[in-house]
Structure 1
Amino acid sequence: MPDVGYTAAFVKLHSIGKKEEDPLSDIRDPKELLASSVARLFSADPAKYTQIIGENLEQANQEALLQLCNAYNCKIV
């Protein structure tokens, strides 16, 4: 009697017609999402997030973040 059960061939055939849903499909511009999210955090508690970024990001990265936020008209302190 032949073996019946799970085989790699079955998995491959089973997944051929399956379309995976992209959970991030509504994000059109990830950079804009980042800039607006950072700006939203800053507006909630500017002093706190200024300190966090100052302590955890190198100066070059702080400048890049500021440029990114400015490019999308998302103001941070």
Structure 2
Amino acid sequence: MGISIWQLLIILAIVLVLFGAKRLRNVGSDLGGAIKGFKSAMKDEENKDDNTEKKLEKKDGDVFEATAETKTEEKKDKA
């Protein structure tokens, strides 16, 4: 007892009459753009997480050695 194709066509016709084809096209393109942006953001976040994991793995295996040096400035005598 689902919705038949004729019921869907009637609903589509009513929506088309109420909102108009131009507005439905705009809503469809806005919805498509939002979905595309969401997928892009998810992909960027996954790449960011992968890069962070790689950096952490690299830091764990490396040993960094550093030495501190002091830099002194020569005092100029004013005479």
TM-score when scaled to structure 2? 0.26
The structure with the largest helix share of the pair is: 2
TM-score when scaled to structure 1? 0.27
Q: Higher relative CO (CA 8 A, sep ≥ 6), structure 1 or 2?
A: 1
Q: Which has the larger radius of gyration?
A: 2
